[in-house]
Structure 1
Amino acid sequence: KYLILICCYISSVWAFSDEAIFEDEDIYNQALPPTPHTGITAPGTKWCGPGNTAANYDDLGRERETDKCCRAHDHCEEIMESHKSLHGLPNNTDWFPMLVRRGKINNTFSQVCFLIYRLKCSCEQQFINCLQAVNTMTSNTLGRVYYATRSKCFALGHPTTSCKQYQEGTFRKRCIRYTVNKSTAKLWQLYDMPFYTTGVAAR
């Protein structure tokens, strides 16, 4: 009887293991489709925002290195549009409100809403790595804002069964390491994205 139980336990240990979709080790130690031309981008960039203002692929703003990160991110190979499905996964996210400065003299603001897209997790990983490598005030501010407002990405992986480790944010937490069942086939599923962190002071 006990031998059977031990064998069952060993089998379950081999079948279930932990898996992290994002590779940045800093997140474990700290709490915390190409879009249309909307004309709204982060200062000094032409690709960083709900849209882009670039005349062509090679057109970059004065924050060139940060802009390159956003350009690559905008050209992710797989993007799930709002209220559509991809790989059998629905994207039920709606509009994301944002205050946009309209008046340069009297500082008037208007609320503009943008549809939320979901990207492949590998593209989100590359975006984090790129912004952290640039490591300027612009890139780090952009990273914090983006990953605070976007919470999910999609990837092909073994089915998740539970969360093994959370990253604490100011008001909520996100899963950064999952327990997965490796005895079953991989499938497309949604994963939490980590909050953006920086390991060293910005340049």
Structure 2
Amino acid sequence: MRWLGVVVWAAAAAWAVPVPGSYFTDEAAGRLLHYDVHSGDCVLFGDRRIVDEIMRELAASESPVAVVEAAELTALISACYGRASHDKRHQPPPADNFPHIIYPGTKWCGTGNVAEGLDDLGPLREVDACCRDHDLCPDDLEPGQTRHNISNDSPFTMTHCDCNESFRKCLTGVGSGEAKEVGSAYFSTGLFQCYRLARPVKGCKQWAGLLTQACQEYDYDTEGEPRWQVFDLKSFE
């Protein structure tokens, strides 16, 4: 184990649960674990762009970050989840935080992932499997990418609408409280969009959204030729 800026000699077994306020990342710097000193929660980040931004902020403030082996970080994540499952005070993240972190108890729900492989799922296995399959959508647009004359200018991955509907059905099928929280955070916040081939959109008939307004029902030109378009997501029920 080594710290950015500070070298620490310690056995991995000594970190049964991360010290409050500490940060951990692996050699690939694609995952970041923060043990929040205020809430007592383990907060996970699995998107490299977000991790890089946080790492720059930590470096600027001279805050130490422990760099550990990938397997060690996975063990720390498991220890956090084990602790959270027995902590009655644990609360799900606010909807506006969800896009940037990994939902507690999962490794795939949120921006990016913290899994070591396709079979690596968190304690909420059914919910996590839904998120994993959604992440593996073969026809998605990363931020800045263009396809079908559609450019993704948002900070989040934009998937084909068919993949989103499969995701919705999967979470609905799980039916747990956690599945509903993940579904609401993804579908009901108004932050995410999808794209598909459809008749030209003339306008919106109904709006809704937890954080920003999103169209819930579109008005189509039924005589127009189908074309690729971007759509808001219908809220999760």
Q: Same fold (TM over 0.5)?
A: yes
Tell me the amino acid that sits aligned with residue 116 of structure 2. A
Once residues 89 and 66 of structure 1 are traced to their aligned partners in structure 2, the CA distance between those partners, rounded to angstroms, is 30
Percent identity, aligned pairs only, is 32
Deviation at 1:195, TM superposition (A): 2.0
Once residues 133 and 37 of structure 1 are traced to their aligned partners in structure 2, the CA distance between those partners, rounded to angstroms, is 31
Equivalent residue number for residue 109 of structure 2: 48
| Equivalent position SS for 2:132 | helix
- Post-superposition CA distance 1:33-59 (Å, at most 9, x none): xxx943422221121121222222122
Equivalent residue number for residue 204 of structure 2: 163
Is the Cα–Cα contact under 8 Å of residues 199 and 222 in structure 2 kept in the other structure?
yes
Q: Which has the higher relative contact order, 1 or 2, with Cα contacts under 8 A spaced 6 or more apart?
A: 1
Equivalent residue number for residue 31 of structure 2: 38
Equivalent residue number for residue 179 of structure 2: 139
- 2:172 pairs with 1:179: no
Is the Cα–Cα contact under 8 Å of residues 198 and 226 in structure 2 kept in the other structure?
yes
Equivalent residue number for residue 73 of structure 1: 134
Q: CA 1:179–1:126 in structure 2 vs 1: closer, same or farther (change >3 Å)?
A: same
**What's the C-alpha RMSD, in Å, of the aligned pairs?**
2.0
Equivalent residue number for residue 170 of structure 2: 130
Is the Cα–Cα contact under 8 Å of residues 204 and 217 in structure 2 kept in the other structure?
yes
Q: CA 1:170–1:51 in structure 2 vs 1: closer, same or farther (change >3 Å)?
A: closer
Q: TM-score, normalised by structure 2?
A: 0.54
Is the Cα–Cα contact under 8 Å of residues 107 and 122 in structure 2 kept in the other structure?
yes
Q: TM-score, normalised by structure 1?
A: 0.62
In structure 1, runs of 5+ residues without a counterpart are 1-35, 95-115, 198-203
Once residues 153 and 48 of structure 1 are traced to their aligned partners in structure 2, the CA distance between those partners, rounded to angstroms, is 17
Is the Cα–Cα contact under 8 Å of residues 143 and 157 in structure 2 kept in the other structure?
yes
Once residues 215 and 176 of structure 2 are traced to their aligned partners in structure 1, the CA distance between those partners, rounded to angstroms, is 27
Equivalent residue number for residue 193 of structure 2: 152
| Equivalent position SS for 2:164 | helix
Looking at secondary structure, tell me which structure has more strand per residue. 1
Runs (4 or more) in structure 1 with deviation over 4 Å come to none
Deviation at 1:88, TM superposition (A): 0.3
Once residues 80 and 64 of structure 1 are traced to their aligned partners in structure 2, the CA distance between those partners, rounded to angstroms, is 26
Once residues 174 and 50 of structure 1 are traced to their aligned partners in structure 2, the CA distance between those partners, rounded to angstroms, is 20
| Equivalent position SS for 2:137 | coil
Once residues 210 and 108 of structure 2 are traced to their aligned partners in structure 1, the CA distance between those partners, rounded to angstroms, is 28
Deviation at 1:141, TM superposition (A): 1.3
Once residues 191 and 48 of structure 1 are traced to their aligned partners in structure 2, the CA distance between those partners, rounded to angstroms, is 21
Q: CA 1:53–1:171 in structure 2 vs 1: closer, same or farther (change >3 Å)?
A: closer
Q: CA 1:129–1:37 in structure 2 vs 1: closer, same or farther (change >3 Å)?
A: farther
- Post-superposition CA distance 1:82-133 (Å, at most 9, x none): 1221110111124xxxxxxxxxxxxxxxxxxxxx111111111111111122
In structure 2, runs of 5+ residues without a counterpart are 1-28, 33-44, 46-101
Equivalent residue number for residue 57 of structure 1: 118
Once residues 196 and 229 of structure 2 are traced to their aligned partners in structure 1, the CA distance between those partners, rounded to angstroms, is 6
Once residues 212 and 142 of structure 2 are traced to their aligned partners in structure 1, the CA distance between those partners, rounded to angstroms, is 25
Tell me the amino acid that sits aligned with residue 67 of structure 1. D
